[in-house]
Structure 1
Amino acid sequence: MTNKKRIVIKIGSSSLTSLHGEISRRKLKRIVEEVVELKEEGHEVLLVSSGAVAAGYRKLGCIERPTALTEKQAAASIGQGLLMEAYSEYFLSHGYVASQILITRSDFSDEKRYMNARNTLKILLDRGIVPIVNENDTVTIDRLKFGDNDTLSAKVAGLVDAEQLIILSDIDGLYDSDPRGNPEARLLSNVQEITQEIEDSAGEPGSDVGTGGMKSKIDAFKMTMASGIPAFLGKSGVRGLIKDAVDGTAKGTYFNPSADNGSLDHRKQWIAFNSGPEGIVTVNEKAKSAIVENSGELHAQHVLNVSGKFKNGAVVRLKDLDGEEIGLGIINYSSDQLSRLQNTDFQIDEDELAVVDSEGLVCRLDLPIPASV
């Protein structure tokens, strides 16, 4: 196939569970069948799947889905194996092997582990395996969680150089207002830019305001668009939706990055979305202009303040005098060294300071990056 794609599909719990909150083998079987159809056409497919807690909480002795963190983690430890057993059974019935990848935010924030995960997934995809990724819920504490699998799926799409991200949801796309309260709400079938109006309509995480809890999905699509990856949002349970989404004919919202969006390479994706900046370097206007123009030069006399403790090689936030974020960079000096050198004539050359430039994330997405990302 000349149009073969590498596709990441995010499957939420609602796409896999029954009305009682348990895993629906009927739903899971249908998703596998749709993925197999893509595989038969020559596409490479990677799943980011929720459902571990739903698969395990009854075996834990809970009548209802638990809310306490320890019980959810215990349920996930039971359910992850059961979920993978079901996936493996259905994929093997069609002649395909599924693999399990459990991951945490710290795996992405450490560059070596990030690249190891990338290499592992590349081998699996090259061998025709269907990797199934989920957050390692059994050991992850709240402050180190991705927050949701929308975010995880966008990060994974960037990690594997996906050519499309498909997010299955309980809503059939992005609307210009909340369709639950406005019968006149209009489905946006094609989005090329995440505007402030779209962000405002999405509401806050966990709120009832906005287009059906859309905030985390918008943050995910901001990442894919910055990385040059087309994405789709549609309603799960619609037969043939996944295939139609790949073909460009499904009902839903397509997020297609325009040429103006640029495309962050792997190094800049890691800096922007996964690194976890360790400090803040405030610079003057002259340095700001040079950084935005991507000259890569930063003289010590242009550094006005250093906040936080960091080692050389750390990722830092670069801000101007007004506190506006200019970009993120890997800096070649520790906070102590930078403070000592602040009044000397030195510069950090292009190899020593990697800044997310104006053609990538800085101007296009209005840094700072959303906290949920």
Structure 2
Amino acid sequence: MSSGIEQKRIVIKIGSSSLTSRHGEISQRKLEKLSDEIVSLKDAGHEVVLVSSGAVAAGYRKLGCLDRPTLLPEKQAAASIGQGLLMETYSKLFMSNGYVASQILITRSDFLDENRYKNVRNTLNVLLERGIIPIVNENDTVTVDRLKFGDNDTLSAKVASIVEADQLMILSDIDGLYDRHPGQYKDAKLIQQVNQITPEIEAVAGDSESTVGTGGMRSKIEAVKIALASGIPTFLGNASKDQIVVNALTGKAKGTYFNPEKSQTYLNQKKKWIAFHSHPEGEIVIHQKAKNRLIEENAHLTLSGVYDVKGPFKKGSVIRIRDHSGREIGCGVVNISSKELQTLTKKVTHPSFDLTIMECKDFVCNQEVLITV
């Protein structure tokens, strides 16, 4: 790799099918290929975060299962075995090249709480600044369905957002996004460049044919939405291709490149947390005039703009804001509880009795983030 390439912070997501053999066990060959390419990036001075699937696929045979388990307790038990096997292999491969790997297991609840979100970000930043390779996975051994990311595609986009990555690479067993399902249509064509996720792009996103992983093409497109809204270029490609990681960085790899629009204003860390990671607890309905001031004039939301309150929610909670038609306008942090707000709205009789219930810096408009928050 040329030493003249600008040093970047890169998040790489690798799918289960790209790490395991046909029999569902860890493929030493595949892990060596991936680690060698990551070492090439590190040797060139780049920072790398690896979001690695494969824990369940790597562990279920050792659990005594002939096929990939479908019951949650068996999946979690398999993950507890497989995660250790994955980390042991990664650590040996990176250490043999002079690099230290670390393990970070995350659940969705780690992102829901703003303080824990900041702790995850701070930990990742320290590791990257010290030259460590963080290896991130969802903590499948303890995660319940309501706290799952659903797939590591989404997790990788959230990690890329939190570390303010320069590029996200999502690698799986398919070359990228096609205009038609490549497994069903021989004339399907690879879409090489995408600048905006349109309804047409979403319509062509079918599911992966892999029986090992959990994320299909639709989940990858949802992940790309998060990355693009954070201003992060994203690449979808086939992990089996030679030097895919190195070539994707230079734009030479076969795959689909998603590039954020240069004219767009991107979110700061506070608004990223509100948009992508928080869990709205209630909602309020606001008047049209308040909606216009909030969106067009970037003004605070005051008590007089509130039409209805649907709780319960506490002071400091993230809530949804809707207009009279029921359309969701966005989300924001409220500085008053639903109980207090319901009481105060009944007392508003003239404009002089008013107070700020949400500051504009704590509000994220749906149109701004391009996805439903």
Report the TM-score range of the alignment, normalised by the length of the smaller protein. over 0.9
- Secondary structure of the 1:327 match is strand
Other-structure match for 1:271:
274
Name the counterpart of 1:258.
Answer: 261
Distance 1:6 1:315 in 2: 30
Q: Which of these residues, 346, 352, 356, is aligned with residue 348 of structure 1?
A: 356
> Which amino acid in the other structure matches residue 368 of structure 1?
T
Q: CA RMSD in A?
A: 2.0
SS of residue matched to 2:332 = strand
The alpha-carbon deviation at position 260 of structure 1 amounts to 3.1
Query: Residue 129 of structure 2 corresponds to which residue in structure 1?
Result: 126
After superposition, residues 39-58 of structure 1 pair within 5 angstroms as 39-58=42-61
Unaligned runs of 5+ residues in structure 2 are none
1:368 alignment counterpart: 372
Deviation of 1:347 (Å): 3.1
Q: CA deviation at 1:165?
A: 0.3
The residue number in structure 2 matching 1:116 is 119
Q: Deviation digits for residues 155-186 of structure 1, max 9, x if unmatched?
A: 00011111000000111111222222233322
Distance 2:253 2:177 in 1: 13
AA of the residue aligned to 1:30: K
TM superposition shift of 1:214: 1.3
Q: Give the aligned partner of residue 83 of structure 1.
A: 86
1:333 aligned to which of 332, 336, 359: 336
| Deviation, structure 1 residue 294 | 4.8
1:287 to 270, 287, 290: 290
User: Residue 152 of structure 1 is aligned with which of 155, 177, 199?
Assistant: 155
* Letter in structure 2 aligned against 1:300: L
> Is residue 225–residue 261 contact of structure 1 (8 Å, CA) maintained in 2?
no
SS in 1 for 2:356: coil
2:256 and 2:360 mapped to 1: Cα distance? 40
Q: 1:168 aligns with which of 171, 186, 190?
A: 171
Q: Which amino acid aligns with 2:362?
A: A
Which one of the candidate residues 8, 12, 17 is aligned to 1:14?
17
Check whether the contact 2:336–2:357 (CA below 8 A) recurs between aligned residues.
Answer: no
Match of 1:138 in 2: 141
SS in 2 for 1:254: strand
Overall identity of the aligned pairs, in %: 58
Q: How far off is 1:352 after superposition?
A: 7.1
Q: Secondary structure at the match of 2:354?
A: coil
2:224 to 202, 210, 221: 221
Q: 1:165·1:232 contact (CA, 8 Å) conserved in 2?
A: yes
Distance 1:205 1:142 in 2: 21
The count of aligned residue pairs is 362
Query: Following the alignment from structure 2 to structure 1, what is the Cα–Cα distance between the partners of residues 34 and 321?
Result: 44
TM-score normalised per structure 2:
0.92
Secondary structure of residue in 2 paired with 1:72? helix
Q: Does 1:62 align with 2:62?
A: no
1:184 paired with 2:190, answer no
> Could you say what secondary structure the match of 2:204 adopts?
helix
Which residue does 2:309 correspond to in 1?
306
C-alpha distance in structure 1 between counterparts of 2:218 and 2:238, whole Å: 16
**Contact 2:176/2:191, CA 8 A, preserved across alignment:** yes
> 1:37 corresponds to which letter in structure 2?
S
Alignment of 1:26-45 (within 5 A): 26-45=29-48
